[in-house]
Chain A
Amino acid sequence: MTPITPATPATSDAAAPRPEGGGLALVVDDSAVNRKLLGQLLTTIGLRTIDAENGADALAILRDDRGRAVDVILLDVVMPELDGYETLAAIKADESLRHMPVIMVSGVDELDSVVRCIEMGATDYLPKPFDPAILRARITASLADKRLRDLEKEYLERQTATNEVLRVISTSAFDLDTVLSAVVGTAARLCHADHGAIYLREGDAFVAAASYGYDGLVEFERVNPLRPGRDSLVGRVVLTGRPVQIGDVLADRDYGLALAQERFGFRSLLGVPIVREGEISGVIAAARNEPRPFNEAEVLLYAAFADQAAIGIENARLLQTIERQKSQLSRFLSPQVAALVSSTDDEQLLVGHRRQITALFADLRGFTAFAQQAEPEELLGVLAEYHAMMGEQIVQHGGTLEHFAGDGMMVFFNDPTPQPDHVERAVRMAVAMRERFADLARGWRKRGYELNIGMGIATGYATLGRIGFEGRYDYGAVGNVVILASRLSSEARRDQILLDQRAHAAVEDLVDVEPVGELQLKGFSSPVPALNVERLRPAAEVAVG
């Protein structure tokens, strides 16, 4: 039985510098004697070697797959085909090779050429005949330098990739699929994995939600959800709550997903739990198609990506919750206020502020008599039709509904969303409401109910914000303008829309009005002139929004 390998023990690939060797040296020398001897000397200090007889062969090796593994180049100066200078110049001119340490190999009588090579960017030189102690010192220094550079490069790559994932998380927070795909792909590429996948908990099973390098994994695993247990990598991660490696699934007797192994061909597996609020909400997994375990640095990197996935999942769920709450809220509040409540930027608006608004009150004439004689079902039915029609107009004109109270309602404009044309919107809405109401009233009249509407509109400054007490807040407006609109609505006779003078001044080009004289209004010391909107002028009869 292959034990579950915990994350901590380092494998042979650990990135820590080991100056005593362990690298791959490319020996470039046209003398077979020198190649052999250097090869032997390098082997005794723990390096592996590749040979090249001349510079052209060396460049060919460096530029194919073998070149990626080379840690140091030992380069003879005098060679056929491409000599040491030309080879060195070609290496330094190649972006992908330029940082490779090059140690020039030269006889003591060639020190002039060594100086020239160092000027061209060679790291060091090795005098012939070879002294094992000098060789070891030069190689060790160059390898340490190379490992530092590699670490630096790797660190930069990882930092860049991590930033990229964070950017995706912040810009695509609504789209969990995009976030998970970015995380799984970036992690797999950075750790040289052939495949990657993220599994999310659904009930007591774990289902693939995103994958990299697999063809059809999500569909395949959806049919075969994974559960806690030793037969799968994901199952083991969930069982242990820790990172798990399977060095080679073919050598692991407990591993039971033969079908998946056969189909996707993976051999080495790594899985890391994605933990949210102390619970495993998913697993991020990586796979290689050869039995080559993941090293400690790679396991740590996967743990970091698991955290990012957890943040992404958390963000997406929070946003989904907010969206759901907002859509529910908007059934109770006007959409602008619902948006306001869900937004942190506009907290200040909730606290209370003064602004010019246009307030509109509407209520029904004959409603009290109707309420007394009608059955409750009829009453509610009529109110429902009335509210539905009015609500539609409020939304269409962008009004903020402050309250419904039986047959009455108050709507205001220019808050919380600024509307430069707030008076015009209120007047257009009132005219539209009066027309729609006439249709409704005809139907009711047939059923024997005589109902009419009256409206009042005023514009001026009000204080707006959260009104009420802990446990029951409304978003409301307080001020003279609100009282004035309410009084005008009370004074309006059937089908009248009464404007105060300031509201009229803002829309006088749009509407035909008839003055109704100066009204004595409760709470107002002097008489208030009011005007009834007869109609929108033909040129103005273009619906808003």
Chain B
Amino acid sequence: MTEPQDQPIDDAVLEALRTSVGGDDAFVADLVGTYLTDARAQLDAIDAAIRTGDAAALVRPAHTLKSASFTVGAMRLGELARTLEQRGRTEALDGTAELAADARQEFGAVDEALAAWLREHGAATP
């Protein structure tokens, strides 16, 4: 299990990702851009599922958001997405609207942190 983080982005994870692709900053920037675009769509899908009370429709966007968030080092957002996914699976939608709101707020922080990281590594802000 991932430890709770102080920061929206775990730099070590992002650094490991960067190393795994041979230090290719342009690729990391592209990947982060894709992540941000997809995450917005997934957050929208999560909101929609909760709004209509469709537990099954909550599972997939939450799962994808979880998986992609852990990939880029957005550990807190990943954990929130994991909780949402489990709520969807157990059809326990009570309080998920608050969780989704937390996730959206956390995403704002992730977005800023990633932009900062990219600037630091000399890559263009997506």
Contacts and interface: CB of A to CB of B under 8 A. Distances in A.
Interface string B20-36: 11101001001100110
Contacts of A32: 34, 38
17 contacts: A30-B64, A31-B38, A31-B64, A33-B67, A33-B68, A34-B67, A36-B31, A37-B31, A40-B21, A41-B21, A78-B59, A79-B60, A107-B67, A109-B82, A128-B71, A129-B16, A130-B71
A44 B20 CA distance: 9
B118 to A, nearest CB: 15
B63 interface: yes
Given A79-B60, A130-B20, 13 more contacts: A30-B60, A31-B38, A31-B68, A33-B38, A36-B31, A78-B59, A78-B60, A107-B67, A107-B70, A128-B67, A129-B13, A129-B16, A129-B17
A284 to B, nearest CB: 48
Given A31-B38, A44-B22, A129 B63 contact: no
A129 B68 CA distance: 9
Interface of B: 1, 13, 16-17, 20-22, 24, 27, 30-31, 34-35, 38, 59-60, 63-64, 66-68, 70-72, 82
Contacts, number: 57
Nearest to A132: B20
A44 B67 contact: no
Contacts of A33: 31, 34-35, 38, 67-68, 71-72
B37 to A, nearest CB: 8
A30 B64 CA distance: 7
Contacts of A41: 20-21
Contacts of A130: 20, 71
B20 A31 contact: no
A507 B72 CA distance: 109
For chain B, what secondary structure do more than half of its interface residues adopt (helix, strand, loop), or is it mixed? helix
Contacts of A36: 30-31, 34
Interface residues of A, number: 20
Nearest to B86: A109
Nearest to A129: B71
A158 to B, nearest CB: 41
A131 interface: yes
Nearest to B82: A109
B115 to A, nearest CB: 16
A381 interface: no
